[in-house]
Structure 1
Amino acid sequence: MIRVTNRISLDESELQEEFLRASGAGGQNIQKVETAVQLRFDILRSPSLPEPVRQRLLRLGGRRVTGEGVLVITAQRHRTQLRNREDARERLLALIREAATPPPPPRRPTRPTLGAKTRRLEGKAKRGDVKRLRGRPDAE
């Protein structure tokens, strides 16, 4: 079991890993060794996720989620298969943790109180007076 949060744990069997050759620069190592990892997690069929978390995860996944609801994470930053595997899992767990936090309630706009309006206008008048006094004295 992979512990995500206090309430959510994933079973190892829910994750499917496929190893492939990474793209980009790297010489012989990258051309011969399958170090990149493609991690697949079926969001829609996972028994570990509560429904609200599942919906938020589908939305957060964006282009990484297939039409069947499978989240695909490809990791190829590191030179070794093990580190890429750990990287892919950490990215998955971070995404699930982000989906597990409920969104804040929507902000309801409020109006300024009468006292706040009065203080604001008094401050503006005082500042205007200060600026007016900076002018040249009258030639009387």
Structure 2
Amino acid sequence: MAIEIPDAALEEIFSRASGPGGQNVNKVETAVQIRLDLGRAGLPERVLARLIALAGRRVTNEGVLVIDASRHRSQDRNRAEARAKLDELIARAAAPPPPPRRPTRPTKASKERRLEGKAKRAGVKRLRRDRPGTD
């Protein structure tokens, strides 16, 4: 299912990144923060609910999804990383959830094998404990 986000729902904010980078850090705004207004994103209800659950604390009380990227020294690479994070999060939310696990019971043969293994191990330990001829 292809999901398109309207440009009106997205906002990119650039700021100075922290960390290494020398003089570049002090003068270039390389860190990127993408803000997606979930109310204007036009996502189906099920996808929106899963997206909010997956995003966790990245969704504000106002219903805005915030994604930060500041690992790279260039603004373009950080912007691409932030978009990739957003795309991956939306793709995970759009994928149908896995079917619930149905509990199964062990077969009779597997129970018997387990008990035979336990008895064999107990016999080995018993032989180690009861040394013949030591009184």
Residue 124 of structure 1 pairs with residue 125 of structure 2: no
Change (3 A) 1:129 1:71: same
Aligned residues of 2:9 and 2:38 also touching (Cα < 8 A): no
Asked if 2 retains the 8 angstrom alpha-carbon contact of 1:36 and 1:74, the reply is yes
1:86 is aligned, of 80, 89, 98, to: 80
Compare 125-134 and 64-73 and name the one that shifted more: 125-134
Distance 1:74 1:131 in 2: 58
Contact 1:60 1:95 in 2 (8 A): yes
**Alignment match of 2:2 (pick from 7, 10, 13):** 7
**Contact 2:9 2:40 (8 Å CA) reproduced:** no
**Structure 2: unaligned runs, 5 residues or longer:** none
Instruction: Decide which moves more: 85-94 or 115-124.
Output: 115-124
Q: Which moved more, 1:117-126 or 1:29-38?
A: 117-126
Letter in 2 for 1:93: D
Give the TM-score, by structure 1 length: 0.78
Distance in 2 (CA, whole Å) between partners of 1:119 and 1:26 is: 62
Q: In 2, Cα distance between the equivalents of 1:88 and 1:102?
A: 24
| 1:64 aligned residue | 58
Q: How far, CA to CA, are the matches of 1:127 and 1:25 in structure 2?
A: 58
**Aligned mates of 1:117, 1:29 — CA distance in 2:** 66
**Aligned match of 1:46:** 41
Query: Does the Cα contact within 8 Å between 1:44 and 1:54 map onto a contact in 2?
Result: no
Query: After TM superposition, which residue ranges in structure 1, 4 or more long, deviate above 4 angstroms?
Result: none
Per-residue CA deviation, residues 6-25 of structure 1 (Å, 9 max, x unaligned), is 43233344321122222334
Q: Secondary structure at the residue paired with 1:67?
A: coil
Residue in 1 aligned with 2:107?
113
Cα deviation, 1:54-96, whole Å, max 9, x if unaligned, reads 1111112122111111111122111111111111101111111
- Which position in structure 2 is the counterpart of 1:76? 70
Residue identity matched to 1:83: R
Percent identical across equivalent pairs?
Answer: 63
Contact map agreement 2:34 2:82 (CA 8 A) in 1: yes
Using a 3 Å threshold, how does the CA distance of structure 1 residues 80 and 113 change in structure 2: closer, same or farther? Answer: same
Runs of 5+ consecutive residues of structure 1 not aligned to the other structure: 1-5
Q: 2:94 is matched with which residue? A: 100
Check if 1:31 corresponds to 2:21.
no
